[in-house]
């Protein structure tokens, strides 16, 4: 088993330039950009609404079960459980994940409810298709009609898992955490809760605050360490 928790034990980071940040966290950055570009392709090729219609025609009982359950990783309760687990392992890192989550949640909710409150969700936009039974709905999913942009679940999972990936800084684990984050985003489309553009925006928002929190704490910890060394000297 790889000793990946050593990154947490020795989490003392210099004030990094953008190039230093990229070099240090290249697995996370490249994984995110790769999956993000894959998501942009159908958005550009099909269009936002057209992709939802096409994607809705693809369904299977196993996919229903899988996406209905994995989407809970982006739920607020699950996110706070993850924060608690990280906090119990390493208090400082747990605080970082909590800050990223709270910032992302606050901005996402503000955007959804005040800036883009007139953007509706798929079951509202395609109400005629839903009413005539030609729109596939996964059984047991509590559907919403308002506050579509950005996807809150997607923003939440990215704000937590991307930051954890940055902290661990292990190539395989980073790729896995980024992959799971995008799968959660895909689940929001499959379950008719969001459009592709909502998910892409949510992933960008969560990743932004993950990186911002990571960079801010890194700079603060480095300055604190330098001040301590200077005082001791």
pLDDT tens profile 108-154: 999 999 999 999 999 999 999 999 999 999 999 999 999 999 999 99
Is residue 228 over pLDDT 60? no
Give me 104's structure tokens.
């992302």
Predicted TM-score (pTM) of the model is 0.86
Q: Residue with structure tokens 């991307």?
A: 162
133-171 exposure pattern, b = at least 16 Cβ within 10 A, e = fewer: eebeebeebeeeeebbbbbbbbbbbbbbbbbbbbbbbbe
Q: DSSP assignment of 104-122, as one string? A: HHHHHHHIIIIISTTPPPH
Q: What is the mean pLDDT of the chain?
A: 88
Per-residue model confidence as pLDDT tens digits over 167-211: 998 889 999 999 999 999 999 999 999 999 999 999 999 999 999
Q: Which residues of 43-77 are buried (b: 16+ CB within 10 A; e: fewer)?
A: beeeeeeebbeebbeeeeeeebeebbebbebbeee
Using CA atoms, how far residue 140 sits from 5, 20, 69, 184, in Å, is 39, 47, 11, 17
Note the pLDDT of residue 8. Answer: 45
- pLDDT for res 230: 53
Describe the chain by its helix, strand, coil percentages, rounded to 5: 75, 0, 25
**Cα–Cα distance, 201 to 67 (Å, whole number):** 20
Tokens of 210: 């993950």
């Amino acid at each position: 088993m790889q000793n990946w928790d050593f990154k947490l034990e020795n989490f003392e980071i210099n004030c990094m330039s953008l190039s230093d940040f990229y070099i240090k966290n290249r697995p996370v950055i490249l994984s995110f950009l790769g999956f993000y570009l894959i998501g942009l392709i159908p958005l550009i090729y099909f269009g936002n609404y057209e992709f939802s219609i096409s994607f809705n025609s693809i369904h299977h009982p196993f996919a229903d079960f899988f996406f209905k359950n994995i989407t809970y990783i982006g739920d607020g309760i699950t996110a706070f459980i993850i924060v608690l687990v990280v906090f119990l392992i390493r208090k400082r890192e747990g605080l970082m994940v909590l800050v990223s989550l709270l910032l992302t949640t606050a901005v996402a909710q503000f955007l959804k409810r005040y800036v883009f409150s007139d953007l509706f969700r798929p079951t509202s936009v395609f109400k005629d298709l839903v009413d005539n039974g030609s729109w596939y709905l996964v059984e047991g999913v509590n559907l919403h009609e308002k506050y579509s942009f950005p996807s809150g679940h997607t923003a939440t999972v990215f704000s937590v898992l991307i930051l954890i990936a940055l902290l661990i800084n292990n190539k395989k684990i980073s790729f896995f955490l980024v992959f799971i984050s995008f799968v959660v985003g895909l689940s929001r489309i499959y379950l008719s809760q969001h459009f592709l553009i909502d998910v892409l925006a949510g992933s960008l928002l969560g990743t932004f605050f993950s990186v911002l929190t990571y960079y801010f704490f890194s700079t603060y910890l480095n300055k604190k360490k330098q001040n301590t060394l200077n005082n001791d000297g």
